[in-house]
Every structure is written in C-alpha cells, then in structure tokens.
Amino acid sequence: MIIKAFWARLTVAVLLPVSLVTLTLTPIVVSHLEERVDGTRRSAEALLASEYDLLLRGMNESFNQVLATAEYPLLRRFLSRQDAAETPTWGLAAQSDWEQLEALFDTLLTHFGRYTRLAVVDTEGREWVATSTVPLLPRPPVVDHGTSTAFLQAMALQARDLYVSSPHLGASGAEQTPVTTVIDIATPIVGDQGERLGVLLFTLDWSRLTASLPHARESRGEALLAGAQGRWLLPDTDGQEARFGQPVATHWPAAWSAMSDRNQGTVTLENHLLAFRSHDLRTQHYRSQAGTIISDPGTQPWRLGILMLRPTLWGLLKENPVQPLAITLVYLLSVAFGLFWVLSNHRLRGLRQRALLFSREARQYANEVQDLYEHAPCGYHSLDSDGRVIKINRTELEWLGYRADEVIEKRRYRDFVTPETRAAFDAAFRQVLGEGQEGSAECELQCRDGTRLPVAIQATAQVTDDGFQYSRAMVFDLSERKALEERLERQALADPLTGLGNRRALEDQAAMEIARAERSGAPLSLIAVDLDHFKRINDTYGHDVGDMVLQAFAKLARQVLRDGDVLCRMGGEEFAVLLPDTHREQALQVAERLREAVATTPAQVGQDATEDGTLAYTASLGVTLVCAGETTLKPAIKRADQGLYAAKETGRNRVEWEEA
C-alpha cells in the first residue's frame, strides 16, 4: 500500500505540474501563433496592394504613351500621304517623313525602355515604319499585318481606344526567336476629319515590366498571375520550372479554386496564406487616358495573388531554440508557477518590444509615404466642395512659387488657373462634384513670378456615406510635351531640301493674306514657277545635281523677291510666290525680274558635274490675281498653273498672265 501510494503521489507530482504547465502554456502558444498568422496575412495583403498598384501603374503608363504617340501630327500626315497614293510611294516628302518618324520612334524606344518594337500600319495592313530592339534594314519592308489580331481589333476601334493582347511569347532584342514574353498594345490613328489612317502598334516587354514588381525583388512570398481561363501569365525566371501559359491549377489547385470564386479576399490554404484580387483592363482603366480597352476573348479579368507560408508551431520552435529548452526545463524541474511567471514575463517583454518595433516601422513607412507625396515628380492637391485648397504637395507649391501657409485653407485653386483656361478647369471640377466623380483638363497655371505653366489635371472625388468629402488630383507638367509639339509643328511647315515653306505653309499664309486683302481691299497676286526641262537635268546629271539646282533657285529667288513676298516649294520643281498688295502690272514685273534672274544666273553644281562647275537653266512662270470672294488659294493656283502651261507651250522661259 505504501509503495502504491508513493507511486500514486509521484505520478500526481509529475502529472500535476505537467498539466499545470501545459494548461498555462497552451493559450500563450496559440495566441502567439495566431498573432504570427495575422502578421503574415497583413504582410501578404500589403505586398499584394503594392504589386497591384505598381502593375496597374506600369500598364496605364504604357496606355498613355501609346495614345500620346498616336496623336503626333507627323504620324497622321505620313499615313495621309500614303493613303492618298494609289500605290505605295517613297517620294522626297514621304522619305523625309519616314526618316523623322524613324528618329522619333528610336527616341521613344530608348527613352521609355520598356518596349521591344514600335510599328505604324496603314489601313491596308502594310507596315510602313517599324522600330525595334532587333536590327532592321535602313527602310523596313512593307510587312502585311492584314490578318493579325492586333490590327483587325484596332481597326474596329474609335479614336483613343486600345486593344491589349494577353501576354504571349515574342521576339527579344537579340534575334527573331520567341525568347521573352510580350504584350501587344494597338490603337487606331485617326485624321483631323475623323478618317481612319492606320494603326499604331507597341510591343511591351512583359518580362521587363514584371521584373520591377516587388515579388521579383524580394523573397517574402510567391506571386500568382493568371488570366480568366487560369493560364499562368508571369514570365519564367532563371532557375524556375517552365510555367508560363500552363494552368495555375496544375501547381496550385486550391489557390486557383479560391481565386476563381471571388474577385478579392484572403484565404488560408493547407500550408499557405493567399491574398488575391482581380483586375479587368477593359473596365478598370480610370487612371489612364484611354476611352475603351478591349482584349482577346476569355482573357479578362486578370487574377493576382500573393502566397506566403503559414506559420506553424514547429516553425516557431525552430526559430528560437531557447523556447523548447525552457519548456523542457519547466517540465523537468516541476517549478510550474515560478517558471511560468518568468517565461510569461519574458514573453510579454518580447511582445511589447515587437509591438514597439512594429510601431516604429509603421511611423517610418508613414514618413516615407509622406516624403513620396511631397517630392513626387507630379503635383498632388485636394480641394473641398468650394474648390478651396485643403492639401497640396511641395512639388506643386514650388511650381507655383508659394508657401503652404499661403495657400492651404486660404486660396481657391481656380485662382491659380489663367483666365483663358479657367473654363476648362471649372468644367472638370463640376464633373468631379457630379455623378461621374472624376474629371480631367489641360490648363495653364499662373505662377507667382508671372510665368505660365501648362499642366494636365486628373481628379477624382473622395466620397463616403456622408457624401462628397474632398477631391484628389494629380497635376502633370506639360512643358516638355508642349515644346515638342511646337517643334514638330515648325518642322511640318518647312521643305527640308530648300528650307522654304511647303504647301501647307503656303495655305496657312494665304488664309491670312486673303482675309487681310478682303478687309483692306488691297490686291493679292500669285505666281506659279516651274523649272524647265528639270527631268532632263536629273536624267543627265543625276538627282544630286537636280537638288543643287533646286537649292540654287531657292537662294536666287529669295534675293530677287521683295520683302513680304511669300516663296514656297509646292513639290518637285514647282514653286509658288504669293504677292501681297500687288496688282497685275507689278506682279508681271516681279515675275519677269525673277525669270530674267534665273536665265542669267547658272546654278553652281561643281566641276564633277560640268567643266566650269555651273549649269544654266530657265523657268516658266504663270501669273494671276486672287479674286475677291475666293476664300482659299485653290482657284488662283489653278489659274496660275494654266498660265504656266501656256508659257510651256509657247517655248518655255516665259511669263504668261491668266485672267480670272
């Protein structure tokens, strides 16, 4: 009996401390494990939010770049010229436009750095301009895109609409082999009159874009990206098995099942935590400037997820070897309550330190976010319902030249908008306050130093159950874009060979002169000039000598003509001179003086072409008067051409007048 009681007490002495320690430690371990699980879940959701925002920002930037490029006047003019020709041609003007487009596309390809190929396709599916990281011929062959999906889809779209393909294998910058993943982005090119001119095709390097996402730079979790049919969309990386294009359900069946059932959420899998959300490019592109976006059937929406390992008890014990040793000591020494107090106190201190660390990290993160807001490359501001500034970042304040205490809660934002563009701003702000809750406008800001800054403003409304709270707007500096547009406009009005104005420049100047003549009643005359036997010069001496003759004529004509006379090259060897405030007799005198100067001044062509280095040539001229009531120069040009033909038929080197 004594032995049995001893063993009974011994058993109780062993089992009771073990039970007490077990009962005491179990809630703590479970609580800590749940805390780690919650922390992992928050990390997964934060990484997902960062991944989603960066991916969406990269795609929207690409959309805006494609749309901005499609509106270049040079691009429209080049396609209009090719569309007007019965067969593809490469005249001097087309060659000049093509070279300018090639230079422009090379600059865009180098500047943006995220594309493998930029191409321009006309309405017949012929590729006229192509720039790629793959080496091309000096002038690209006319490639037929007539049956390509991107071309067919884009041709059915309206202006500022986009077609976006699903990621697929495409060409890299080394050779024409499918070694990287790309996305085709296409938009129609529409003329000033709404006519369809062709398609602009950008090939986005999907591998490069996704390589900048957080999951590619960090190793905290694994990213999943799949289309609507569950195909893997993330490019394969070095050391990873080939997954691109394969079903996600093959590798992560439970994850795909959860992602396909809901648009977003966080779920617990067997050994992982999954945070996910979906995004449909066709409907959720409010941050871009696109009107409508379409994609291949069955590819949208995309589903993005972040997988992280779910913390386990065994994992926690492996992280800190002191814990299993301490528990073992507690059980062996049977000092349940004392040791429990020590361990509990130790754990509480650790939890407080961890909470303080998390608090410091949160404050640091908040400071970083605030710093990014204040020093962003674009302006940010928030307005109340009256348009008063309630928040504005330092970037925009530096643009305006004001301090924060001079603006916030004291000035209305429209006061900084110039009177000429204030109506556009007011209309956009009314859209933000209305049902649409978003608006955009291009305006000019009046800075404190008197300068004007062209900007684009994109704003959305922050609305709660209590109604409108404030607006949030991004402001982009358009100075560089405006300067580029002005430079391209100047280039579009000049003939690159002679430096004279081209036909478009003549039409613009004529519109002003006709209006001035209509108001003042002053006469306005026109001379049509054609160099005689110019084809013979090209055939005999070559086109280089022909170009020198054209340049010599342009230089001579500038010297002979009066101040105020407008000399332009119409094309080939044809020129036109607009004579303001000039009646018939004066116009004939000017034309005769120009004809005589040409006939007596040989062109300097060099001794490689002729023995004395000169080449004599003549010109035939037709003169007419721009009649009152004519609103364009076309009737006068037709009459001047008739006079020119009469001069040609009566022996050339003559001046002929054509009556209205």
The Cα–Cα gap between 197 and 71 comes to 11
pLDDT of the residue at 342: 46
Q: Which segments within 28-156 are labelled E, that is strand?
A: 115-122, 126-132, 143-144
Q: Tell me, yes or no, if the two domains 61-209 and 379-478 fold the same way.
A: yes
User: Does the annotation mark 406 as catalytic?
Assistant: no
CATH number of this structure's domain 61-209, picked from the four choices 3.30.450.20, 3.90.1150.10, 3.40.50.970, 3.10.20.30: 3.30.450.20
136 — pLDDT class (breaks 50, 70, 90): very low
Region 466-478: mean pLDDT is: 87
435 — pLDDT class (breaks 50, 70, 90): confident
DSSP codes, 548-611: HHHHHHHHHHHHHSPTT-EEEEEETTEEEEEEET--HHHHHHHHHHHHHHHHHS-EE--TTTSS
Query: Could you confirm whether domain 493-657 is CATH 3.30.70.270?
Result: yes
pLDDT of the residue at 177: 46
The Cα-based distances of 376 to 52, 182, 370, 392 in angstroms read: 19, 29, 10, 11
Q: Give yes or no for residue 55 having a pLDDT over 80.
A: yes
Q: Phi first, then psi: what are they for 649, rounded to 5°? A: -70, -25
pLDDT of the residue at 6: 46
Average pLDDT over all residues of the chain = 82
Region 440-469: mean pLDDT is: 88
Please pick, among 127, 396, 513, 573, the residue that the annotation labels catalytic: 573
Query: What is the pTM (predicted TM-score) of this model?
Result: 0.46
Q: Which two tokens mark 48?
A: 């997902």
Q: Which CATH class is domain 379-478?
A: alpha beta
Highest mean pLDDT pick, 102-116, 481-495, 540-554: 540-554
Domain ranges for the chain, please list them: 2-39+315-374, 61-209, 379-478, 493-657
Residue 646: exposed, middle, or buried by beta-carbon count in 10 A (0-12, 13-18, 19+)? middle
pLDDT of the residue at 139: 46
